[in-house]
Amino acid sequence: MSMKYKLSSLFFFFLIGLFSQDLNDDQLLDEVIISSSKINLPFSKNFRTIKIISSNEIQQIPANNVSDLLQQVTGIDVRRRGAGGVQGDLYIRGGGFDQTLLLVDGMKMDDAQTGHHTLNMILPLYLIERIEIIKGPAARIFGQNAFNGAINIVTKDFVSQRGAVEMNLNELSYGSFEQKNISLSTKISGENINSLISYSGNRSDGYRHNTDFKKNNYFIKTSFNTNNKPIDVLVSFNENKFGANGFYASPSATEQYEETQASLFGISTTINSENLSITPKLYWRRGQDEYIYIRDNPSVYRNLHKTNKVSAELSGSYFSDLGVTGFGIDLSTVNISSNNLGEHKRTTVNLFADHTFKLMDNKLMVSPGIAFSYFSDLSFHSFPGLDLGYNLNSKFKLYTNIGKTYRIPTYTDLYYSDRTTIGNENLNPESAISTEFGVKYDSSNVKFTASFFNRNAKNIIDYAKENEEDLWKAVNIGSLSSNGYEFDFSYSFKSSNTLSSANSISIGYTKIKDNNYVSNINFSRYSLNSLKHHLASNLNLNYIKNINHSIVFKYAERSDKSNYSVLDSKIMFKKSIFIYINNILNEQYSETNLVPMPGRNFLIGFSTGID
So what's the pLDDT on residue 501?
63
So what's the pLDDT on residue 190?
84
So what's the pLDDT on residue 146?
85
Angle at 97 between CA 474 and CA 80, to 5 degrees: 115
Residue 107 has pLDDT above 50, yes or no: yes
Average pLDDT, the chain: 87
End-to-end CA distance of the chain: 37
Residue 151 has pLDDT above 70, yes or no: yes
- Mapped to the 3 state alphabet, what secondary structure does 146-186 carry? CCCEEEEEEECCCCCCCCCEEEEEEEEEEEHHHEEEEEEEE
**pLDDT per position as a tens digit, 570-608:** 999 988 899 999 999 999 999 988 899 999 999 999 998
How far, in Å, CA of 349 to CA of 313, rounded? 10
Mean pLDDT of 241-246: 96
Q: Please name which of 431, 432, 463, 433 lies closest in space to residue 529, comparing C-alpha atoms.
A: 463
Q: By three-state DSSP, how is residue 486 classified?
A: strand
Contact between residue 91 and residue 97 where contact means Cβ atoms under 8 Å apart: yes
**pLDDT per position as a tens digit, 474-524:** 998 878 889 999 999 999 987 655 445 679 999 999 999 987 654 567 777
Q: Please name which of 415, 389, 455 lies closest in space to residue 96, comparing C-alpha atoms.
A: 455
pTM of the model: 0.90
So what's the pLDDT on residue 31?
36
**pLDDT per position as a tens digit, 289-339:** 999 999 999 999 999 999 999 999 999 889 999 988 989 999 999 999 999
Strand pairing class (577-582; 213-224): unpaired
Q: By three-state DSSP, how is residue 18 classified?
A: helix
Mean pLDDT of 123-142: 87
Contact between residue 184 and residue 167 where contact means Cβ atoms under 8 Å apart: yes
**pLDDT per position as a tens digit, 39-78:** 454 444 567 888 899 998 999 999 999 999 999 999 999 9
Longest dimension (CA), the chain: 71
Mean pLDDT of 159-166: 73
Contact between residue 370 and residue 350 where contact means Cβ atoms under 8 Å apart: no
Residue 432 identity: A
Strand pairing class (149-155; 100-104): parallel
Q: Please name which of 243, 281, 289 lies closest in space to residue 262, comparing C-alpha atoms.
A: 289
Residue 96 has pLDDT above 50, yes or no: yes
Q: Please name which of 267, 271, 369, 378 lies closest in space to residue 312, comparing C-alpha atoms.
A: 267
Confidence class of residue 160 from pLDDT cuts 50, 70 and 90? low
So what's the pLDDT on residue 436?
94
Mean pLDDT of 97-117: 92
Confidence class of residue 472 from pLDDT cuts 50, 70 and 90? confident
So what's the pLDDT on residue 161?
66
Close Cβ partners of 113 (under 8 Å, ≥ 6 residues apart): 287, 289, 305, 307, 336, 338, 341, 410, 411, 412
Confidence class of residue 225 from pLDDT cuts 50, 70 and 90? confident
Residue 72 backbone phi and psi in degrees, to 5: -95, 10
DSSP per position, 311-329: EEEEEEEEEETTEEEEEEE
How far, in Å, CA of 568 to CA of 467, rounded? 41
Least confident of 145-154, 441-450, 494-503: 494-503
Contact between residue 573 and residue 604 where contact means Cβ atoms under 8 Å apart: no
How far, in Å, CA of 593 to CA of 173, rounded? 30
**pLDDT per position as a tens digit, 370-417:** 999 999 988 888 889 999 999 999 899 999 999 998 899 999 999 998
**pLDDT per position as a tens digit, 1-35:** 444 433 334 333 333 333 333 433 333 333 334 44
Least confident of 86-90, 390-394, 527-531, 540-544: 527-531
Kindly calculate the radius of gyration of the chain based on its CA atoms and give it in whole angstroms.
Answer: 24
How far, in Å, CA of 402 to CA of 455, rounded? 10
Residue 543 has pLDDT above 90, yes or no: no
How far, in Å, CA of 462 to CA of 413, rounded? 9
Least confident of 18-27, 177-186, 343-352, 393-402: 18-27
Domains and CATH numbers, the chain: 3-607 (2.40.170.20)
So what's the pLDDT on residue 26?
35
